[in-house]
Amino acid sequence: MNARSSGPSQRAWDTARQSREQRLAAAARYARDKLVFHEDVTKLLEALVRSGDRVCLEGDNQKQADFLAARLAEVDPVVVKDLHIVQSGVVLAEHLDLFEAGIAKRLDFSYSGPQGAAIARALKASKIELGAVHTYLELFSRYFVDLTPHVALTVARCADREGNLYMGPNTEDSPVVIEATAFKQGIVIAQVNELVDKVPRVDVPGDRVDFVVVAPSNFYVEPLFTRDPAQITETQILTAMLAIKGIYEPYGVKRLNHGIGFNTAAIELILPTYAERLGLKGRIATHFALNPHPTLIPAIESGWVEQVYSFGSEVGMDDYMRARPDIFFTGRDGSMASNRMYCQSAGLYATDLFIGSTLQIDLAGNSSTFTKDRIAGFGGAPNMGSDPRGRRHASDAWLKAGREAAGEPTRLPRGRKLVVQIVETFGEKLSPTFVEGLDSIELAKSLDLALPPVMIYGDDVSHIVTEEGIANLLLCRTPAEREQAIRGVAGYTDVGRARDARAVEELRARKVIQRPEDLGINPLDANRSLLAARSVKELLRWSGNLYDPPRKFRNW
Amino acid sequence: MENLKLRFTTRGPAPGTACSAIVGVVASGNLEVLLERVLAQNECAVEITTPVRGYDEVWKAVVADFVERTSPGGMRISINDGGARPDTVALRLMQGVRTMEMDDE
């Protein structure tokens, strides 16, 4: 029976654990049990981190382990070099400093936000070897397959002496990062705002955490999801009306995710006004996978929203969420709880619609936020803005979209996710949103990337909404029809003006394209008076003063 | 500053009796539109002043569509642009015509 006759293999099966124990022994002199004094952190890192290690330096969408990032950027690049950084967010200047100094060499990430231009420069200067720009779920999944961190540098609001961590509303990526690291014999270091006798809630159990350091100042959180209603334009309100009347209503979209743009903020702010007048309350937009957008407050307060699960938090929303546990997920301590991996999964599999904006859309409906000199990375759009082929539960919205895509009745019905791009035909500085070819294709060529970064592939997009109308791509039967449907809502851009006017009118007759007037919407009614709140101050009033806007949004 | 003058023959006069109207403001990304009912009933003149170069064809397309849609006969329209996007231009022109539909009092 046995192919091999000898006994157990002679190889060592615990090299990773041995490596971990050696590192911990080398670091012991800088710690008392798990506690490290903040001035000793650079030395601690030099003792723990080895050249070539995979390191996750959170680096989330919102919260930042900024103190640990600054200390890692201070290590001696002779002692620690060629690290492989594996984290979702490359957001701080210190993250790039690691590559400038040679401490880090390889990068796998998801989102870069403010560092997009710096990453492009570092790539061109060969300071970074880029693995891939991932979607969140994809990167988190790879933590358990081939990108498991050796060291995770995490961040929490407070810790106790045993290393139990309380992260409050900004739990974000940490549980998945720490599980992958700790259970594969890696090392976990946490920066915290304060040390306490007992944490309000255990977000990460202490036996997964090796070291805790109290940072001299509170960690940084970017208010990424606050949109000031004062800046919402009439055109954005018009696109919001189109989305509600032309998509949310006919499909009966109840479960959804919104992007972070002003168009979707406008949708949130006209639910209690325009959508209320259409009699849609309770029939649309009841369950969200969504960060706690302040612009959702009026819809929550007027009874539109039944529940919201979040990827992360938003600065200033803590007290409001604590006071609304029927709406938000909260711990026994009362504070909101988030988890980016869970929420990305929820947005992928358990919502019927994703709607978000983008910078460029090509003639096949592919979209990208990458430009020639910016590696912007992805937010949640690629996961939530894709049709999950693994979905096996039905809903009215999903089945209707599936019927439209199939064209004819089939014996084996299958649904489709509604993936909506809502844009204005021109963006900042009169740059056209609709283009013949995406900048990211040129970018991929110039940087020798194997894969041109595409935020949402055209074959996943179901609708494009602009101020000129809605293009329903599910109803297009040929690539040529799809192209004319896109040109037909591309306004006065070159792409829009090069339309075949007759083909576009035919598509309109088939309701592949719907104009505002086809939906009973007069563009002149797209007025700021439709917004349930027209300023941050009015959001604060809607919240019963529970919302505490960040200083930069307090303009009164 | 770029200056662009366009003239059109319309199907008929613009509705309403208001003599003039102003909509919008000159601000970044916005524009001011002055409409005056001073021309013959089937004539429309549009004069555009804009700080942005190179968009003549877009202006012509936006204004031609507007004239086709609303038939603003009798109007002299002066646009003072602050770098507005075409959709904003189209919206302001429509708002201008609607304002002119009101009776002058």
pLDDT tens for each residue of B67-104: 999 999 999 999 999 999 999 999 999 999 999 987 65
Question: In this structure, what CATH number is given to the domain that contains residue A259?
Answer: 3.40.1080.10
Question: Would A341 be classed as within a structural domain?
Answer: yes
Question: Would A53 be classed as within a structural domain?
Answer: yes
Question: Would A6 be classed as within a structural domain?
Answer: no
A227 to chain B nearest CA, in Å?
A: 18
Is A167 in the same domain as A296? no
> In the structure, what pLDDT confidence band is assigned to residue A6 with cuts at 50, 70 and 90?
low
B22 interfacial to chain A (CB closer than 8 Å): no
Per-residue pLDDT of A432-461, as tens digits, reads 999 999 999 998 898 888 899 999 999 999
Query: What is the extent of the structural domain holding A130?
Result: 19-220
> In the structure, what pLDDT confidence band is assigned to residue A229 with cuts at 50, 70 and 90?
very high
Is A418 in the same domain as A466? yes
Q: Are strands A211-214 and A35-36 parallel, antiparallel or unpaired?
A: parallel
Are A467 and B87 inside 8 Å of each other by CB? yes
> In the structure, what pLDDT confidence band is assigned to residue B28 with cuts at 50, 70 and 90?
confident
pLDDT at position B76 is: 97
Is A211 in the same domain as A234? no
Among partner residues A238, A426, A468, which is closest to B85 by beta-carbon distance?
A426
Residues within 8 A of A (CB atoms), B 27-56 only: 52, 55
Residue pointed to by tokens 């407070």: A158
Reported in sequence order, the residue ranges of A178-320 that DSSP labels E, i.e. its strands, are 187-195, 211-214, 220-221, 255-258, 287-289, 307-309
Residues within 8 A of B (CB atoms), A 45-74 only: none
Is A204 in the same domain as A273? no
> In the structure, what pLDDT confidence band is assigned to residue A410 with cuts at 50, 70 and 90?
confident
Give the separation between CA A286 and CA A540, rounded to whole angstroms: 22
CB pairs under 8 A between A and B: 39
Per-residue pLDDT of A165-192, as tens digits, reads 999 999 999 999 999 999 999 999 999 9
Is A195 in the same domain as A239? no
Is A49 in the same domain as A109? yes
Instruction: Choose the mutation target among B23, B58, B62, B98 for the interface with A, i.e. most A CBs under 10 Å.
Output: B58
pLDDT at position A167 is: 97
B94 interfacial to chain A (CB closer than 8 Å): yes
Instruction: Give chain A's count of helices (H) and strands (E).
Output: 21, 22
Contact predicate B24/B94, CB 8 Å: no
Question: Would A530 be classed as within a structural domain?
Answer: yes
φ and ψ at residue A126, rounded to 5 degrees:
60, 30
A111 to chain B nearest CA, in Å?
A: 29
Domain boundary among A201, A220, A239: A220
Are A492 and B52 inside 8 Å of each other by CB? no
Domain boundary among A169, A202, A220: A220
Residues of A in contact with B66 (CB under 8 A): none
A268 interfacial to chain B (CB closer than 8 Å): no
Residue A173: alpha-carbon gap to chain centroid: 11
Contact predicate A233/A527, CB 8 Å: no
How much of chain A, in percent, has pLDDT values that exceed 70? 99
Residues of B in contact with A233 (CB under 8 A): 88
Among partner residues A234, A238, A491, which is closest to B86 by beta-carbon distance?
A491
> In the structure, what pLDDT confidence band is assigned to residue A10 with cuts at 50, 70 and 90?
confident
Residue A32 burial by Cβ neighbours in a 10 Å radius (0-12, 13-18, 19+): exposed
* DSSP result, A79-118: TS--EEEE-SB--SHHHHHHHHTTSEEEEEESB-GGGHHH
Is A161 in the same domain as A47? yes
Q: What is the pTM of this model?
A: 0.95
A492 interfacial to chain B (CB closer than 8 Å): yes
Give the separation between CA A531 and CA A520, rounded to whole angstroms: 19
Instruction: Choose the mutation target among A422, A430, A525 for the interface with B, i.e. most B CBs under 10 Å.
Output: A430
Is A284 in the same domain as A180? no
Question: Would A209 be classed as within a structural domain?
Answer: yes
Q: For A204, which DSSP code?
A: B
Per-residue pLDDT of A485-527, as tens digits, reads 999 999 999 999 999 999 999 999 999 999 999 999 998 899 9
Is A371 in the same domain as A491? yes
pLDDT at position B103 is: 63
Q: Are strands A83-86 and A104-109 parallel, antiparallel or unpaired?
A: parallel
> In the structure, what pLDDT confidence band is assigned to residue A3 with cuts at 50, 70 and 90?
low
pLDDT at position A437 is: 95
Question: Would A409 be classed as within a structural domain?
Answer: yes
Is A242 in the same domain as A169? no
Give the separation between CA A104 and CA B68, rounded to whole angstroms: 61
Question: Would A1 be classed as within a structural domain?
Answer: no
* DSSP result, B29-42: T-EEEEEEE-S-TT
A2 has a pLDDT exceeding 60: no
B66 has a pLDDT exceeding 80: yes
Residue pointed to by tokens 């720009």: A133
B88 to chain A nearest CA, in Å?
A: 7
> In the structure, what pLDDT confidence band is assigned to residue B8 with cuts at 50, 70 and 90?
very high
> For chain B, which domains are there?
2-101 (3.30.230)
Question: Would A12 be classed as within a structural domain?
Answer: no
Is A343 in the same domain as A456? yes
pLDDT at position A5 is: 60
Are A235 and B61 inside 8 Å of each other by CB? no
Is A423 in the same domain as A509? yes
If one counts the domains in chain A, the total is 2
Domain boundary among A220, A254, A289: A220
Among partner residues A425, A426, A524, which is closest to B95 by beta-carbon distance?
A524
